[in-house]
Structure 1
Amino acid sequence: MLHSYMQGLAIGFSLIIAIGAQNAFILKQGLKKQYVFWLCAICAASDSILILLGVLGFSQLVESHPEIVNGAKYLGATFLTVYGAQHFLQAFKTSSSLAPSEKNETKLLKLVLICLALTWLNPHVYLDTVVLIGSISTKFESTAVYFAIGAITASWVFFFVLGFGARYLLPLFQSAKAWKVLDLIIGVVMWGIAISLLL
Structure 2
Amino acid sequence: MLESYLTGLLVCGGIIVAIGAQNAYVLGVAVRREHHWWSAGLCMSTDALLLLAGMFGVSAVLLSMPSALEALRWLGVAFLAWLAAQAFLRAASGRQGLSVGGAGERSPRRVMLATLAVTLLNPQVYLDTLLLIPSIGAQQQSTVTFAAGTITASILWFSLLAWGGAALSPWLSRPLAWRAIDGTIGVMMAAIAVHLSLGAPLAA
Query: What's the offset of the Cα at 1:187?
Result: 0.9
**Distance (whole Å) between structure 1 residues aligned to residue 40 and residue 115 of structure 2:** 9
Structure 1 residues 143-162: aligned runs within 5 Å: 143-162=142-161
SS of 1:92's partner is helix
Question: Are 1:31 and 1:100, in contact at CA under 8 Å, matched by a contact in 2?
Answer: no
SS of 1:18's partner is coil
Task: Please state if 1:106 is matched with 2:106.
Answer: yes
> How much is the aligned-residue C-alpha RMSD, in angstroms?
1.6
Q: How many residues align?
A: 197
Q: Which runs of 5+ in 1 are unaligned?
A: none
Question: Are 1:59 and 1:135, in contact at CA under 8 Å, matched by a contact in 2?
Answer: no
Name the counterpart of 1:11. Answer: 11
Name the counterpart of 2:137. Answer: 137
Structure 1 residues 30-179: aligned runs within 5 Å: 30-95=30-95, 97-101=96-100, 105-140=105-140, 143-179=142-178
Cα shift readout 1:107-129 (whole Å, capped 9, x = no counterpart): 11111110000001111111111
Matched-pair identity in %: 38
SS of 1:34's partner is coil
**Distance change >3 Å, CA 91–CA 70, structure 1 → 2:** same
* Segment drifting more, 52-61 vs 153-162: 52-61
SS of 2:56's partner is helix
**Distance change >3 Å, CA 76–CA 138, structure 1 → 2:** same
* Segment drifting more, 72-81 vs 167-176: 167-176
**Distance change >3 Å, CA 117–CA 47, structure 1 → 2:** same
Question: Are 2:26 and 2:39, in contact at CA under 8 Å, matched by a contact in 1?
Answer: yes
Question: Deviating runs (4+, > 6 A) in structure 1?
Answer: none
**Distance (whole Å) between structure 2 residues aligned to residue 173 and residue 159 of structure 1:** 21
Partner amino acid, structure 1, of 2:98: A
TM-score, length of structure 1 as denominator length: 0.93
Question: Are 2:34 and 2:111, in contact at CA under 8 Å, matched by a contact in 1?
Answer: no
Q: Which runs of 5+ in 2 are unaligned?
A: 199-204
More helix by share: 1
**Distance (whole Å) between structure 2 residues aligned to residue 94 and residue 177 of structure 1:** 8
